[in-house]
């Protein structure tokens, strides 16, 4: 979940750096939402018919890892359609894992503990999301700032220009002469760093998923 939220925050930035408006960039992440819906619904159907979720959960996290990892390979010259596929993969893995983890947690406890364990699950998700977004922001801002300073820090007046570039994407259309390639390379390095960080978190999630236990999924509330 953390890795998907990080990608969702910075995938639109990737499209904006390519010259799209905020509306156009936001529309480009619709495949992730579609993937989340498809992943969640299909996962529920599969678990209902098979009564199994462990192998399914591992497969879903693997798809999520692949989506995050492949996003880090994108650059300014890459066509848009691969990003749509990668975002759909991430959404599918994310949506499916939400369903798997919730059902797996509920199935592992008695009825009297289900409300508490469900609340705890959402609490951990919210906490993890906050931590992940903070880490992603720190990675992005630090890499971008350091790359820009390394390339242009010695130029008189560059500090103010770098600040404007970091604060407003419109400044990318009004760069000083000779700055274009260096600025866009810096942005891609920062975005790649975020995507790789998200990939690392997804891999950590896959390792944790390996310890997921299979419990019986009952067909009635009486667990029969």
In the chain, count of helices (H) and strands (E)? 8, 0
224 inside domain = no
Pairwise CA distance, residues 190 & 192, whole Å: 5
79 inside domain = yes
Pairwise CA distance, residues 198 & 216, whole Å: 32
What pLDDT does residue 219 have? 65
**Both tokens of residue 126?**
């919210």
What pLDDT does residue 220 have? 61
- Residue-range definition of the domain harbouring residue 136: 2-209
Best CA proximity match to 207, nearest among 6, 61, 107 = 61
218 inside domain = no
92 inside domain = yes
Best CA proximity match to 64, nearest among 28, 95, 27 = 95
The residues near 15 (Cβ < 8 Å, ≥ 6 apart) are 24, 25, 28, 80, 83
Number of domains in the chain: 1
Q: Which residue has the tokens 């029969």?
A: 224
Pairwise CA distance, residues 177 & 196, whole Å: 31
3-state helix, strand, coil in the chain (%, to 5): 80, 0, 20
84 inside domain = yes
What pLDDT does residue 223 have? 59
223 inside domain = no
Best CA proximity match to 166, nearest among 99, 149, 111 = 149
CA distances in angstroms from 179 to 160, 165, 185, 218, listed in the order given:
14, 11, 10, 62
Averaged pLDDT in 10-residue chunks for the chain of 224 residues? 66 88 88 91 90 90 91 88 92 89 83 82 80 85 91 85 85 85 91 90 88 75 59
Q: Which SS3 state, helix, strand or coil, does residue 20 take?
A: coil
CA count, 13 A, side-chain hemisphere, 189 = 16
Q: Which SS3 state, helix, strand or coil, does residue 201 take?
A: helix
- CATH number of 69's domain: 1.20.1250.20
215 inside domain = no
């Amino acid at each position: 979940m953390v890795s998907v939220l990080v990608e969702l925050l910075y995938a639109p930035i990737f499209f904006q750096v390519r010259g799209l408006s905020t509306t156009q960039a936001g529309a480009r992440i619709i495949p992730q939402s579609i993937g989340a819906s498809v992943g969640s619904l299909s996962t529920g159907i599969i678990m209902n018919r098979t009564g199994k979720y462990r192998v399914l959960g591992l497969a879903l996290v693997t798809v999520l890892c692949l989506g995050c990892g492949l996003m880090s390979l994108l650059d300014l010259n890459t066509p848009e359609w691969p990003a749509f596929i990668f975002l759909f993969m991430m959404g599918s893995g994310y949506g499916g894992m939400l369903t798997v983890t919730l059902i797996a947690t509920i199935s592992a406890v008695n009825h009297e503990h289900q409300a508490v364990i469900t609340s705890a699950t959402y609490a951990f998700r919210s906490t993890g999301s906050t931590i992940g977004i903070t880490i992603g922001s720190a990675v992005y801002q630090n890499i971008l700032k350091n790359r820009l300073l390394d390339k242009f820090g010695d130029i008189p007046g560059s500090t103010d220009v770098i600040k404007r570039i970091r604060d407003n994407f419109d400044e990318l259309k009004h760069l000083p002469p000779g700055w274009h390639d260096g600025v866009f390379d810096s942005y891609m390095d920062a975005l790649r760093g975020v995507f790789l960080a998200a990939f690392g978190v997804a891999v950590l999630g896959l390792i944790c998923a390996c310890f997921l236990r299979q419990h019986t999924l009952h067909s009635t509330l009486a667990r029969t």
